[in-house]
Amino acid sequence: MSTRYNARAAEPKWQKLWEDRGTFRTPEPSGRPKYYVLEMFPYPSGRIHMGHVRNYTMGDVIARYKRARGFDVLHPMGWDAFGLAAENAAMEKNVHPKSWTYDNIAAMRTQLKAIGLSFDWDRELATCDPEYCGHEQAIFLDFLEAGFVSRRKSMVNWDPVDNTVLANEQVIDGCGWRSGAPVERRELTQWFFNITDFADDLLDGLDTLEHWPEKVRTMQRNWIGRSEGAKVFFALDGVAEAPDYKLEIFTTRPDTLFGASFCALSPHHPLTQKLAADNADLQAFIRKCDQIGTSEEAIETAEKLGFDTGLKARHPFIEGKTLPVYVANFVLMEYGTGAIFACPAHDQRDLDFARKYDLPVIPVVAPKDLTETARAAFVEELAAHSTDAFTGDGVAVNSDFLNGLDVMAAKRAAIEKLEAMSLGQGTINYRLRDWGISRQRYWGCPIPVIHCEACGIVPVPRDQLPVVLPDDVTFDKPGNPLDRHPTWKHVDCPKCGKPARRETDTFDTFVDSSWYFARFCAPKAGTPTVRAATDRWLPVDQYIGGVEHAILHLLYSRFFTRAMHRLGHVGLDEPFARLFTQGMVNHETYRDAAGKWLPPSEVAIETAGGKRVAKRISDGTPVTIGSIEKMSKSKKNTVDPDDIISQYGADTSRWFMLSDSPPERDVQWTDAGAEGAWRFTQRFWRLAAGADDIAPAGASRPESFDDAALALRRAAHKALDALTDDIEHLRFNRAVARIYELANAISGFVPANDAGKWAKREALEFMVLAAAPMMPHLAEECWAALGHEIPAVDTEWPVADKALIVEDSVTIAVQVNGKRRDELTVARDADNETVERAALALEKVGKAIDGKAVRKVIVVPGKIVNVVV
């Protein structure tokens, strides 16, 4: 044996062996239980980063562990390959998005393979592959036929410089994230998935996802934002062009209608727009509202502003009463109907507005159980002075037929009355919007429809799929290259044969990632999915990824699965049975004297007088050590996995990513930590491969063991048992600690006889096999050195002997008045009386009792004795 473990030589060797043997190829149905492990697939940016290493290592540990436990494992990998970055690269570096993307994929595949991940590479796919696109287009056509898709005008964020639509998250402080130009609101005809039709189902489904983080479920619940209430129609006086105009509003508090003091319209409400057409003051007001901006700060400090339209709305319940109609900056067109009725007494915003414009405040709900006088005082105070609206539960007052009812009952009664009068109806409103999927981009999956003057929207016939992107495009001009391509969009209508126009918008890339998990079940099939395959593998048993996808990707995938279920592609609604969101990888930041960010590779850290001091390696100038932040290019605090792997090996990186921090929390990358992990791989190697005082492989178990050997066996079985449980629960940092414990136990053991040698081999084999999912290459190397022909990866997971885990005797703490005074070793099954007597006999206990009368003795078997005096 050489004295050093050479990861650089060993790792490729074992990777090749696994590949040659087809070890990780997904098995054909075998009757064994299945397990589908999936990590969110990456965007092929060109380089793997440490976050990927962490994410994929966690998945790999599970995949390898489940494989060893006898599961048929599906563990695929692919590429979320469409997206804007490829077009930006095309513009900046003059490379074609396609070659840029596929080159990146090739580079990243090589990097991922160097980590030794147990993917079935035969199932690899990229969402930009024409086959994948074609199947996605077929699913879209299915959705279209099934009525899950619609096409309508909607307001979008339009970047006037880049000539493209921006997603909400691409708008920063009202400007395009790339161009910096102020974003315009523009009305555009767009394709939508009717996700709101599934809103209730998506909401209810969350209750079944018990193995999802509560946090993610809450976020989705809030995002869907279901609220029950009523639509109310207010007849308007003073709309000259439409005397019968009815203003439709949404409210969750129909019980407060008797407290209404005004109505308010969004600046973007159609009626507002109509009124503004010949009203310059209103136009100016609308402009003022739009200028306030969308930053959090602006919204938080924004004053309530209103513009009196002069219109009057007729109160639905009070004959002859009218309410002024304002345009107000705090009313959003995107929510509800874009118009409200305001009850200042019971809504803070309405109250702020009413106090500012001196509108009436009419309390119609009072706290329960107030005396007559107290209630009158409450009403008086709220109406006249208070600046705090009363939003709590209570009883209706000043509300005619609602008086005396509590809020819930009053809501119901109000809705009933509105419905009877045909002035409104109970309704449910969602915050969730339909999913706009049109993108005016080149590098995406083309939407497979054709626009014909005569026939309208015509789906591309299925035998003409996939609609592929043209290669000959230019990026020298802003806007969508598909749109200005000389020939691509010109096609004959499949229905009437006349010249027609291809849809030039492409899908939002979230569409691509909404079904890839289903495609992985049968990635080569001629149909988008194969039902037998999705039935066999879905749901994904363990899905792992970052929390940043808690809402969009996961919600869209849940929607897709439901829609695909109705069409028979899959047989279930929820694609991901268990979800785990892992934390980020952080690193210290460094800046030079000029405040410029420096990468860790250019900085040397020294410890002087207990303080850490940083210097620039090149010239020794001082460097400021900054805060610990998520690794990012902008702050240059990144560590390249390739560098780490070439320096220490993949197993060291994997080990370090799993140790110390709980997987759901952020982990800090430190050089010292990485070195520590590397030192341990070496120690592990010396311990396992260098052991010359162990029994031969396959030797039968001795009849008896001396105390030291028995203690080692106990330690080994205990560590194995605990580690197995830790991996089952994804507590990788604890699993790592168990390996350290076991290694420490083995290090301190010297066999005194053959039984001892046998015990040491057993412990070493446990250690190697238990570490194998985490450090697979090192484990193989050690396993072979221990004399095994069959690779560790094909060796079954060892099972701990429960009899060895339970100790015969236990050490328990003895407390006096809850304070620990001594400890006591007793037989595991000693009865309470014996334990109590032994505890009281202890010298230190007697001293602590100090002659006082013992009032009570609590004995918790196997845990503790507490003497109360």
Partner RNA sequence: GCGGACGUGGUGAAACUGGUAGACACAAGGGACUUAAAAUCCCUUUCGGGUAACCGAGUGCGGGUUCGAGUCCCGCCGUCCGCACCA
Q: Could you say which residues in the range 390-429 bind RNA, by CB under 7 A?
A: 429
Residues 6+ apart with CB under 8 A from 117: 56, 57, 59, 60, 77
- Determine the interface stretch with RNA among 20-28, 314-322, 618-626, 726-734 (rule: CB under 7 A): 726-734
What the block records as the tokens of 636 is 């240059």
Which of 104, 231, 815, 835 is close enough to bind RNA by CB under 7 A?
815
Place of tokens 């120690």: 683
Please, what is the minimum distance in Å from the beta carbon of residue 823 to RNA?
5
Decide if residue 836 touches RNA (CB under 7 A): no
Q: How many helices (H) and strands (E) in the chain?
A: 28, 37
**Helix, strand and coil percent figures for the chain, each rounded to 5:** 40, 20, 40
Place of tokens 């100790």: 807
Please, what is the minimum distance in Å from the beta carbon of residue 867 to RNA?
8
Comparing CB distances to RNA, the nearer of 162 and 741 is 741
Number of C-beta neighbours around residue 215 at 10 A: 12
- Determine the interface stretch with RNA among 52-60, 711-719, 794-802, 819-827 (rule: CB under 7 A): 819-827
Comparing CB distances to RNA, the nearer of 118 and 866 is 866
Please, what is the minimum distance in Å from the beta carbon of residue 611 to RNA?
10
Please, what is the minimum distance in Å from the beta carbon of residue 222 to RNA?
5
- Determine the interface stretch with RNA among 113-121, 250-258, 389-397, 772-780 (rule: CB under 7 A): 250-258
| CA dist., res. 507 & res. 288, Å (int) | 35
Comparing CB distances to RNA, the nearer of 117 and 289 is 289
Which of 6, 99, 150, 811 is close enough to bind RNA by CB under 7 A?
811
Decide if residue 257 touches RNA (CB under 7 A): no
Going from the C-alpha of 89 to that of each of 92, 96, 572, the distances in angstroms are 5, 8, 39
What the block records as the tokens of 330 is 């705090």
Which of 660, 708, 795, 849 is close enough to bind RNA by CB under 7 A?
660
Which of 34, 47, 274, 431 is close enough to bind RNA by CB under 7 A?
431
End-to-end Cα distance, the chain: 63
What the block records as the tokens of 397 is 């007052």
What the block records as the tokens of 661 is 């921090």
Which of 659, 724, 746, 835 is close enough to bind RNA by CB under 7 A?
659
Comparing CB distances to RNA, the nearer of 459 and 546 is 546
DSSP state of 494: T
Please, what is the minimum distance in Å from the beta carbon of residue 745 to RNA?
9
Please, what is the minimum distance in Å from the beta carbon of residue 275 to RNA?
18
Decide if residue 801 touches RNA (CB under 7 A): no
- Determine the interface stretch with RNA among 23-31, 495-503, 525-533, 653-661 (rule: CB under 7 A): 653-661
Comparing CB distances to RNA, the nearer of 157 and 659 is 659
- Residue 17: name the closest of 784, 536, 720 by CA: 784
Which of 182, 205, 479, 662 is close enough to bind RNA by CB under 7 A?
662
Would you call 244 exposed, middle or buried from its count of C-beta atoms within 10 A (0-12, 13-18, 19+)? exposed
Cβ distance 275 to 282 under 8 Å? yes
Decide if residue 25 touches RNA (CB under 7 A): no
Which of 205, 676, 702, 798 is close enough to bind RNA by CB under 7 A?
676
Helices 776-785 & 650-658 angle (0-180, nearest 10)? 120
**Binding string to RNA for residues 736 to 775, with x set by CB under 7 A, is what?**
xx--xx--x--xx---------------------------
Going from the C-alpha of 100 to that of each of 43, 81, 103, 113, 128, the distances in angstroms are 12, 10, 5, 20, 12
| CA dist., res. 357 & res. 344, Å (int) | 12
| CA dist., res. 86 & res. 100, Å (int) | 7
- Residue 203: name the closest of 20, 391, 431, 381 by CA: 431
Site for RNA in 497-556 (CB under 7 A): 547, 551
Cβ distance 61 to 739 under 8 Å? no
Site for RNA in 605-624 (CB under 7 A): 607, 610
Decide if residue 255 touches RNA (CB under 7 A): no
* Torsion from C-alpha of 179, 183, 186, 190, nearest 10 degrees: 60
Decide if residue 567 touches RNA (CB under 7 A): no
Cβ distance 261 to 323 under 8 Å? yes
Decide if residue 13 touches RNA (CB under 7 A): no
Decide if residue 866 touches RNA (CB under 7 A): yes
Gyration radius from the chain CA atoms: 34
Comparing CB distances to RNA, the nearer of 137 and 251 is 251
Residue 32 main-chain phi, psi, to 5 deg: -85, 160
- Strand, coil or helix: 427: strand
Which of 129, 131, 197, 675 is close enough to bind RNA by CB under 7 A?
675
Which of 107, 171, 181, 292 is close enough to bind RNA by CB under 7 A?
292
Comparing CB distances to RNA, the nearer of 47 and 734 is 734
Strand order from edge to edge, sheet including 856-860: 819-827, 809-816, 864-868, 856-860
Which of 55, 157, 266, 652 is close enough to bind RNA by CB under 7 A?
266
Residues 6+ apart with CB under 8 A from 365: 255, 256, 259, 345, 346, 390, 394, 395, 396, 397, 407, 410
**Binding string to RNA for residues 682 to 701, with x set by CB under 7 A, is what?**
xx------------------
Please, what is the minimum distance in Å from the beta carbon of residue 387 to RNA?
14
Which of 1, 284, 302, 454 is close enough to bind RNA by CB under 7 A?
302
| CA dist., res. 444 & res. 127, Å (int) | 9
Which of 156, 667, 695, 764 is close enough to bind RNA by CB under 7 A?
667
Size, binding site for RNA by CB under 7 A: 85
- Beta strands (DSSP E) in 315-391 are 322-328, 339-342, 365-366
Site for RNA in 196-225 (CB under 7 A): 214-215, 218-219, 222-223, 225
Decide if residue 708 touches RNA (CB under 7 A): no
Please, what is the minimum distance in Å from the beta carbon of residue 818 to RNA?
3
Please, what is the minimum distance in Å from the beta carbon of residue 772 to RNA?
18
Please, what is the minimum distance in Å from the beta carbon of residue 499 to RNA?
44
Decide if residue 16 touches RNA (CB under 7 A): no
DSSP state of 538: P
What the block records as the tokens of 778 is 């090192």
Cβ distance 48 to 814 under 8 Å? no
Going from the C-alpha of 248 to that of each of 236, 245, 424, 432, the distances in angstroms are 10, 9, 9, 20
Decide if residue 287 touches RNA (CB under 7 A): no
- Determine the interface stretch with RNA among 61-69, 237-245, 521-529, 734-742 (rule: CB under 7 A): 734-742
**Binding string to RNA for residues 569 to 608, with x set by CB under 7 A, is what?**
--------------------------------------x-
**Binding string to RNA for residues 82 to 121, with x set by CB under 7 A, is what?**
----------------------------------------
- Strand, coil or helix: 684: helix
Comparing CB distances to RNA, the nearer of 15 and 429 is 429
Comparing CB distances to RNA, the nearer of 482 and 867 is 867
Site for RNA in 304-343 (CB under 7 A): 304, 329-338, 340
| CA dist., res. 589 & res. 600, Å (int) | 8
Please, what is the minimum distance in Å from the beta carbon of residue 178 to RNA?
21
Decide if residue 355 touches RNA (CB under 7 A): no
Going from the C-alpha of 640 to that of each of 58, 195, 646, 688, the distances in angstroms are 19, 40, 10, 30
Which of 290, 640, 823, 836 is close enough to bind RNA by CB under 7 A?
823
